[in-house]
Chains A and B, each alone.
Chain A
Amino acid sequence: MTPTPIVEMTDISITFPGVKALDSVSFRMFPGEVHSLMGENGAGKSTLIKALTGVYGIDGGTITLDGDVLVVNGPAQAQAAGISTVYQEVNLLPNLSVAENIMLGREPRRAGLVDWRATRERAAVLLERLNLDIDPASQLSDHSLAVQQLVAIARATDVQAKVLILDEPTSSLDAGEVAELFRVIRGLKKDGVAILFVSHFLDQVYEIADRLTVLRNGSLVGEYLTTDILRIELVHKMIGKELAALDTLEAKTRTATAESEEVPYLRATGLGRKGSVEPFDLRIGEGEVVGLAGLLGSGRTEVARLLTGADHADSGDVAIRGVRKRLRTPRIALKERIAYSSEDRKKEGIVEDLSVRDNIVLALQADRGWFRRISKKRQDELALSYIQALNIRPANPDALVGNLSGGNQQKVLLARWLAVAPRLLVLDEPTRGIDVGAKAEIQKLVSSLADEGMSVVFISAELEEVLRLSHRIAVMRDRKKVADLANEDITVGQIMSLIASGAEA
């Protein structure tokens, strides 16, 4: 192993208004090594990458590249210095050719004009280096996402990259494509490129990474050699609880409903969707809270989307009270009284420019159709009763939802779904990014709704929360359901080992 790091970030701090996004974090990369940056949502991975690529200015600390202090103001400078980045969403132009995409902005010129032949030739050389056998003149959008990802890497490697940053490169690839990508990564590694690999898939990290750095809440937890750290230890470090402390945590507050219950409210059999989540079975009883545990990207959101018609399944089926149903759209699912509160509150939840009242009545009104308008009086009754019941602040039905705090927006969303009187409520990260008080209120609400007979699917990155609320817990890992446990004498530690290893407990 090369003793001198090529990149050395020392005591990096970045502050956003009100939040310390990075708190003197140190990070280093060695040539010819794959280094994985690990951490849950909001740990600061993206912020650290953006500090390195010059997207964010740093408030404290130093970055050196090859021993020289590096001051970057923007991605173009970082790239010129030899730091290339391939982002999660492929940042290419699908309607241009492969060669144009690889050489965009750096096309060889002759007499001021682009030399297209040289452009294609140079692109072909780069593609060959990655063993990628495609026609440089073909249109990018004609290729699979995996190939596009590789084209993006080809583009990134053209600039004599010393450091290559791959941010979630495998999130939309299948197993074969991942293998192809890893082959390319190993090749680049041999050429002495330092690679920063970010992924939520533990299996992949353990397969490709030589070194790991774990972040949590904007702070450095530690740097480890992959061979030195067990998965279970890694997960603990990411989530932030020590094994010993976890096992003593009192967890069980609920017990599973009797498995013998003849017909569950919903039974999914072999439900799956290619590229999203592998076929799984799931039963959700009446008045039962089923928790979905797993890391980000483990498939927990995908399960929720299949159960609620947000995505449609391409295998398996769903029976509601024993009757087979096809939940092709959210509208159909809502007709079956299945409501889905998405984890992406802003993009898939609230309608920002509408009032609290409008947001609350939206799903109910959609169900009634546009002609049968809910009367103004009834709208006000609904809005005010939910504002009161859920303690929504400000208590003003005319306030624009976009101006509310995250916690209150979440409550408005809950009110929208509760207004349709769902039989099954699927909550994806309902407590993320909201303050402790609102969190407790939402937990209490879920628990009392279940007592009243509503079935709930509860997804959260916080295992304690899942454990506290759920009757049963399904554990997801790498887009597979790996365990289904009744919540009896289960500890957070046990669930963590399942998340880490996937083996049955």
Chain B
Amino acid sequence: MNRLTDLPKSRLFWPIVTLLALLILNVIVAPSFFSIRIQDGHLFGSVIDILRNGAPTLLVALGMTLVIATRGIDLSVGAVVAISGALACTIIADSPDPGSVGTVLSAVGVSLLFSLVLGSWNGLLVAVLGIQPIIATLILMTAGRGIAMLITEGQIITVSSAPYKTIGAGFWFGLPVSIIIAGAMFAIAALLTRKTALGLLIESVGINPEASRLAGIRSRGIIWTVYLFSAVCAAIAGLMISSNVTAADANSAGLWIEMDAILAVVIGGTSLAGGRYSLTGTLIGAFVIQTLTTTVYTVGIAAEITLVFKALVVIAVCLLQSPVVQARMHRTRPAKVATPESTTGARA
């Protein structure tokens, strides 16, 4: 086996190439791009910024990966982001002692618990009632913003709480806390799916639901679990986002984050058709998205064509991964032969 020639066939090849290309582009335009300086014992630099700002997208994309692996999709994550931020900020703002660690912990606790309720709702609709995931989560996507508005009573809630600000903007051991949290969640997701059999069962349900049923897999529980996990990830992202700006905005917090997350998953090589997934791919995908956003600023692309630029990169990555383009690039591989079984076996 030749590792070098096998490399382009790896699912992670094109996402990594894209990420590297974007990074190189940045270095060319801004040679100081990779420089990291230490200021007040904290790490600063463009790369650190990318990691820090990419943390919420990464979190949401993690949950999204597992949902997509079961043939589902979770459109409600943006609304869950808004709700969790709104809930935490309102609790802190209403408390007599916003600066105490106890207040912040209980606010975070309540937000996370409520996200379990929201995840259960999605899980109930998809796994038990059998509603198509895109429709089922669209319900919470729409209603969720309303719930967040109810919580904040239509206001933007600002909080001044040092412990709360730590979540999104703080530093531990010189590293941004948000990166540490996202890294921890990534590790938990990886352990949860690879050290237990959850990953195998998720893939099995995503690839062939009927065969999985006959093998005795309780797909209902599996599907419910991934929507719960997705909601918890989104809630943590919501805490990060609201903490970073020290405010909860029911209207704009987490707006379109579901799209970024889905893109990150797709760029990472996980098929929307379900089945095999790659958490590492999603990690790279999330950083591609975030680097792209940063690149727009460093390269100085005019604000009005920012979205067009982003779209072009995304189209390029998706094209490179499409089966048709892949087949053209690996022409030497034998084409799939139509077997008589596949053509005549269906009926006879």
A483 within 8 A of B: no
Q: Which residues of A contact B208 (CB under 8 A)?
A: 347, 350-352
Q: Is A42 an interface residue (CB 8 A)?
A: yes
Contact present for A370 and B348 (CB under 8 Å): no
A348:B340 contact, CB within 8 angstroms: no
- Judged by a CB distance under 8 angstroms, whether A97 is at the interface is no
Residues A373 and B344 in contact in the complex (CB < 8 Å), given A17-B338, A330-B213, A334-B216: no
Question: In chain A, residues 76-98, which have Cβ atoms closer than 8 Å to a Cβ of chain B?
Answer: 88
A358 near B: Cβ within 8 Å? yes
User: A366's contact among B195, B217, B345, by CB below 8 Å, is which?
Assistant: B217
Known: A17-B339, A167-B347, A354-B203. A347 touches B211 (CB 8 A): yes
What is the minimal beta-carbon distance from B173 to any residue of chain A, in angstroms?
A: 32
Interface size counted on chain A using CB atoms at 8 A: 52
Residue pair A351, B207 in contact (C-beta under 8 Å) = yes
Q: List the A side residues contacting B221 at CB < 8 Å.
A: 370
Residues of A within 8 A of B156 (CB): none
Within B184-204, which residues are at the interface with A (CB < 8 Å)? Answer: 195-198, 200-201, 203-204
**B211 partner, pick from A44, A351, A372, beta carbons under 8 A:** A351
Chain A residue nearest to B194 in the complex (CB) = A373
**Once the chains are docked, how many angstroms separate the CA of A334 from the CA of B216?**
7
Would you call B196 and A373 a contact (CB within 8 A)?
A: yes
Would A367 and B216 be within 8 Å (CB), given that A351-B204, A358-B200, A362-B200 are in contact?
Answer: yes
Within 8 Å CB of A17, what residues of B? 337-340
Give B192 Cβ to nearest chain A Cβ, in Å.
9
The minimal Cβ–Cβ distance linking B69 to chain A, given in whole angstroms, is 11
Q: For the complex, is A406 an interface residue (Cβ under 8 Å from B)?
A: yes
Q: Is the CB of B214 within 8 A of A342?
A: yes
Q: Kindly count the residue-residue contacts between A and B in the assembled complex, taking CB atoms under 8 Å apart.
A: 118
For B312-344 the 0/1 string (1 means CB < 8 A from A) is: 000000000000000000000000011111011
Closest to A368 in B: B197
Q: Determine whether the beta carbon of B218 is less than 8 Å from that of A331.
A: yes
Chain B residues whose CB sits within 8 angstroms of the CB of A333 once the complex forms = 216
Residues of chain A contacted by B200 (CB below 8 angstroms): 354, 358, 361-362, 365
A16-B339, A366-B201 known; A340 and B214 CB under 8 Å?
yes
Q: Kindly state the separation between the CA atoms of A40 and B341 in the bound complex, as whole angstroms.
A: 14
> In the complex the two chains form, is B347's CB within 8 Å of A363's CB?
no
Chain B residues with Cβ below 8 Å from A335 are 216
A139 in the interface (beta carbon within 8 A): no
Q: Does B275 sit within 8 A of A, measured CB to CB?
A: yes
Give the complex CA separation of A16 and B201 in angstroms: 36
**What CA separation (Å) do A7 and B195 show in the bound complex?**
64
User: In whole Å, how far is A216's beta carbon from the nearest beta carbon of chain B?
Assistant: 11
Cα of A354 to Cα of B203 in the assembled complex, Å: 8
* Residue B280 CB within 8 A of the other chain: no
Cα A475 to Cα B204 in complex, Å, equals: 36
Task: Enumerate chain A residues within 8 angstroms of B198, measured Cβ to Cβ.
Answer: 370-371
A330/B197 in contact, CB under 8 A: no
- Say whether B222 faces chain A, with CB atoms less than 8 Å apart: yes
Q: Which of B196, B203, B344, B348 contacts A371 (CB 8 A)?
A: B196
Contact A47 B197 (CB under 8 A): no
Q: Are A46 and B346 CB-contacts (below 8 A) given A19-B340, A351-B211, A365-B200?
A: yes
Chain A residues near B196 (CB-CB < 8 A): 370-373
Give CA–CA (A373, B217) in the complex, Å.
13
Contact call A16/B340, Cβ cutoff below 8 A: yes
Whether the Cβ atoms of A363 and B343 lie closer than 8 Å is no
Cβ-based interface call for B276 (8 A): yes
Q: A300 near B: Cβ within 8 Å?
A: no
CB neighbours of B211 from chain A (8 A)? 347-351
A374 at the interface (CB under 8 A from B): yes
- Tell me if B348 and A363 are in contact (CB < 8 A): no
The residues of B that contact A135 with a CB separation of less than 8 Å are none
Chain B residues with CB under 8 A of A39: 348
Contact B204 A362, beta carbon cutoff 8 Å: yes
A21–B342 Cα gap in the complex (Å)? 12
A16 in contact with B344 (CB, 8 Å)? yes
* B210 CB-CB contact with A under 8 Å: yes
User: Which of B215, B222, B345 has the largest count of A CB atoms less than 10 A from its CB?
Assistant: B215
B contact residues, range: 20 to 34
Q: Is the CB of B197 within 8 A of A370?
A: yes
A105 at the interface (CB under 8 A from B): no
**Bound-complex Cα distance A460 to B215 (A):** 22
Q: Is B212 an interface residue (CB 8 A)?
A: yes
Q: Is A416 positioned at the interface, with any CB of B under 8 Å from its CB?
A: yes
B12, chain A: closest CB distance, angstroms: 17
CA distance A410 to B207 in the complex (A): 18
**Is A120 engaged at the interface, CB distance under 8 Å to the other chain?**
no
Smallest Cβ-Cβ distance to A296: which chain B residue? B348
Q: Is A168 an interface residue (CB 8 A)?
A: yes
* Chain A residues in 8 Å Cβ range of B212: 351, 362, 366
Quick check: is A61 within 8 A (CB to CB) of the other chain? no
Whether A366 contacts B215 by the Cβ 8 Å rule is: yes
Check A330 against B348 for contact (C-beta < 8 Å): no
A43 part of interface (Cβ distance < 8 Å): yes
Query: Does residue A353 face the partner (Cβ distance < 8 Å to B)?
Result: yes
User: What 0/1 readout, one digit per residue, does chain B (133-149) give for beta carbons within 8 Å of chain A?
Assistant: 00000000000000000
In the bound complex, how far is the Cα of B197 from the Cα of A331, in angstroms?
A: 17
A103 at the interface (CB under 8 A from B): no
Interchain CA distance A361-B217 in the complex, whole Å:
12
Interface assignment of A471: CB less than 8 Å from any CB of chain B: no
Q: How far is the CA of A377 from the CA of B218 in the complex (A)?
A: 24
Closest partner residue, chain A, to B217 (CB atom): A366
Q: How far is the CB of A160 from chain B (nearest CB, A)?
A: 27
Contacts of B197 in A (CB 8 A): 365, 368-374
Chain B residues near A308 (CB-CB < 8 A) = 214
Asked if A45 is an interface residue, CB under 8 A from chain B, the answer is: yes
Would you call A438 an interface residue if the criterion is a C-beta within 8 Å of the partner chain's C-beta atoms?
no
Minimum Cβ distance to chain A for residue B93 (Å): 39
A334 to B344, CA, bound (A): 33
Q: A42-B345, A167-B347 are in contact. Are A348 and B210 (CB under 8 A)?
A: yes
Knowing A46-B346, A167-B347, the reply to whether A362 touches B339 (Cβ < 8 A) is: no
On whether the beta carbons of B216 and A41 are closer than 8 Å, the reply is no
Closest beta carbon of chain B to A42's beta carbon, Å: 5
Q: Is A437 at the interface (CB under 8 A from chain B)?
A: no
Complex alpha-carbon distance, A372 and B204, angstroms: 17
A3, CB-defined interface residue at 8 Å? no
Q: Is A310 an interface residue (CB 8 A)?
A: yes
A88 to B197, CA, bound (A): 40
Closest to B195 in A: A373
Does A18 sit at the interface, judged by CB under 8 A? yes
Q: Are the C-beta atoms of A354 and B207 separated by less than 8 Å? A: yes
Residues of A within 8 A of B338 (CB): 16-17
Taking CB atoms, residues of chain B closer than 8 Å to A370 are: 196-198, 201, 221-222
Bound form: Cα–Cα A334–B215 in Å: 8
Give Cα A39 to B348, complex, Å: 8
**Min distance, Cβ A414 to any Cβ of chain B, angstroms:** 13
Task: Point out the residues of chain A lying under 8 angstroms from B214, CB to CB.
Answer: 308, 310, 330, 340, 342, 348-349
A433 within 8 A of B: yes
**What are 19 sample pairs from A and B whose C-beta atoms fall under 8 A apart?**
A16-B338, A16-B343, A17-B340, A42-B344, A45-B347, A88-B347, A168-B347, A329-B213, A330-B215, A330-B216, A347-B210, A349-B214, A350-B211, A351-B203, A362-B204, A362-B212, A365-B201, A366-B215, A370-B196
Beyond contacts A19-B340, A42-B344, A340-B214: 16 other A-B pairs, Cβ-Cβ < 8 A, are A16-B340, A17-B337, A17-B338, A17-B340, A40-B348, A168-B347, A333-B216, A348-B210, A350-B208, A351-B204, A351-B211, A353-B203, A354-B200, A370-B201, A370-B221, A371-B196
Q: Which residues of B contact A (CB under 8 A)?
A: 195-198, 200-201, 203-204, 207-208, 210-218, 221-222, 275-276, 337-341, 343-348
